[in-house]
Amino acid sequence: MNQEEILYCQNCKNNETNLRCQKCNQLICYNCMKETPVGYRCSNCVEFIKPPMYKISVITLITSSLIAIVFGFIMGVISIFLIPIQSYYSFITIIGSGFFGLLISQILFIIINWSSNGKRGKKIQIIAVCSIILSSLIRLYISGNIEMGINDLNGFVYLLTGVIVLWDKFK
């Protein structure tokens, strides 16, 4: 009777396994392996098949951030006319604010999508969300009525709609 050799995962070095990464052939356990559309991979090999849209260069990050700041500022100036700061709100103003949130986040999406060359992922999501937050802050700042911002439900609906739309679109 021949004795079987006990093999261990080369990644965590803890678990017994006889599975191998289908690319580099390294021993890999159930905990450490990643399932991909092209088979089981170790974490090193998964990095290589990350789609290019999720790889963002530093230059793209910087230019996208700058463009997001500039347009966040512009959208803030525009939104003060679309949604004036007031403590008054009704069904109509809330629906309107949600609509402008959709509209402005769509414009920001087109601009940031263009400036980042169609990138997706956490970094670009954060840039886009910061841009719409900046527009809300600019809107509050220009109005000169920061205290009223606390009761500004219209502005909150605008911001929330924008954040949700942009976060989802750059996923």
Residues near Zn ion (CB under 5 A) are 9, 11-12, 15, 21, 23-24, 29, 32, 42, 45
* Rounded Cα distance, 157 and 103, in Å: 13
Least gap, CB of 45 to Zn ion (angstroms): 3
**Please, what is the angle between helix 153-169 and helix 91-115, to 10°?**
30
Least gap, CB of 148 to Zn ion (angstroms): 56
Residue closer to Zn ion, measured from CB, 32 or 56: 32
Residue closer to Zn ion, measured from CB, 12 or 110: 12
Least gap, CB of 102 to Zn ion (angstroms): 43
Can you give 46-114 as a three-state secondary structure string? HHHCCCHHHCCCHHHHHHHHHHHHHHHHHHHHHHHHHCCCCCCCCHHHHHHHHHHHHHHHHHHHHHHHH
Residue closer to Zn ion, measured from CB, 21 or 75: 21
Least gap, CB of 117 to Zn ion (angstroms): 29
